Every structure is written in structure tokens, then in C-alpha cells.
Structure 1
Amino acid sequence: MDQEKIGKFIAKCRKEQGLTQAQLAEMLGITYKAVSKWESGVSHS
């Protein structure tokens, strides 16, 4: 899968819900840094 496209999709959905990266991370039980990596397409997980 294209990590960049997935990251843009995650960011779009998060913003539509009015959430910050930190808020989304808290909801998922992860760090905001992980969300940031996903959105930038850096994560390979």
C-alpha cells in the first residue's frame, strides 16, 4: 500500500473530526509521534 496516500487519508479523517494528533493518539492508546509518522508516510507498520 502507498504509505503517503494512507497518511493523507488518516490526516483528512482526523481533521474532519476536529481532532489533533495528540487527541487521536490518546484515543488509540499510542503516542502522538506515531500518528505524526503515519500521516507523513514514514511508518512501515
Structure 2
Amino acid sequence: MNQQKVGGFLKQLRKEKQLTQEQLAEQLNVSGRTVSRWETGVSQTKRY
């Protein structure tokens, strides 16, 4: 799955609902930074 495409889709939906990243983060009980990372396709997945 392409993380950047998914992130773009999430951003589009968030903007359609007229929510800021912080507002969405609060609703999902995650940090604003997490939402930002989702939208940009950046993740810090640890691989063992």
C-alpha cells in the first residue's frame, strides 16, 4: 500500500470535514504529530 496516497486521501477527507490536524487528532485520541505523519506518509516503523 502506498503510504503517500493513503496520506493524501486522509488529508482530503479531513479538509472536506473542515478539521485541522489537531482537531482530528483529538477525535482519534492521537497526537497532532501522528496525523501529520500519516498525511505525509512518514512513519517510524521498527523492523526486527
Please give the TM-score of this superposition, normalised by the length of structure 2.
0.88
Shift >4 Å, 4+ stretches: none
RMSD value, Cα:
1.2
Unaligned runs of 5+ in 2: none
Q: Which has the higher helix share?
A: 1
Which runs of no fewer than 5 residues in structure 1 stay unpaired? none
Identity %: 51
User: Measured at CA, do residues 42 and 10 of structure 1 come closer, stay the same or move farther in structure 2, by a change above 3 Å?
Assistant: same
Radius of gyration: which is bigger? Answer: 2
